[in-house]
């Protein structure tokens, strides 16, 4: 099997997506990617990301690759976690203070900057066969209730109701996060009615 065939097989195993990083890690030459692009078998869709004719990379995956230091959060996380059926009008990602927001905003992403507990509640989901970084539902609900964030209550209230009926909910974690971020009273008010 030639290097080209091996790379195409690798792409097929990854939903038709090939990352330059994977090519290097597997010990292949990057010139093989250029050759596959010239042959029309791969198409560059973003720096370091290539897709086959049958491959598919959605915007969430591409933004996650472009902004590796960000985590999908707030209403975007509700959607990705299945707690909202409304596709976000604007994608929201959380970043640690110190990141420049100019490039992020130019991509149409709403950046939320925080200085503490950036990694708390971070998890990954698999969407269309691709791994995406997102906050857990407990962290997301707490983030939406923070006073400095103007949450969309038309999405928040149904998400809280769905969470109350969710068989994998971790109420202890929810209250621990709420206490840590100073929104325990709000969580107690909502959950006291729903549970």
**pLDDT profile of the chain (195 residues), mean per 10:** 85 87 85 89 91 88 93 97 93 93 93 93 91 96 90 89 94 95 92 74
Strands (DSSP E) found in the chain: 17-19, 43-46, 49-51, 71-72, 91-96, 109-114, 122-127, 130-135
Instruction: Work out whether strand 91-96 and strand 109-114 pair parallel, antiparallel, or are unpaired.
Output: parallel
Tell me what pLDDT residue 195 has. 62
Tell me what pLDDT residue 84 has. 94
Claim: this prediction has a pTM higher than 0.85? yes
């Amino acid at each position: 099997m030639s290097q080209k065939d091996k790379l195409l097989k690798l792409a097929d195993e990854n939903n038709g997506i090939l990352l330059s990083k994977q090519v290097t890690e597997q010990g292949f030459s990057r010139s093989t990617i250029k050759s596959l692009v010239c042959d029309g078998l791969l198409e560059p869709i973003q720096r370091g990301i290539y897709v086959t004719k049958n491959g598919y990379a959605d915007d969430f995956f591409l933004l996650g690759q472009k902004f590796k230091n960000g985590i999908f959060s707030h209403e975007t996380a509700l959607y990705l976690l299945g707690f909202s059926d409304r596709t976000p009008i604007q994608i929201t990602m959380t970043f640690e203070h110190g990141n420049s927001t100019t490039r992020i905003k130019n991509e149409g992403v709403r950046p939320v900057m925080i200085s503490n507990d950036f990694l708390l509640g971070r998890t990954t989901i698999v969407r269309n066969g691709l791994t995406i970084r997102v906050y857990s539902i407990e962290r997301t609900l707490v983030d939406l209730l923070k006073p400095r964030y103007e949450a969309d209550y038309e999405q928040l209230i149904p998400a809280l109701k769905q969470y109350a009926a969710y068989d994998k909910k971790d109420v202890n974690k929810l209250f621990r996060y709420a206490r840590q971020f100073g929104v325990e009273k709000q969580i107690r008010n909502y959950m006291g009615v729903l549970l």
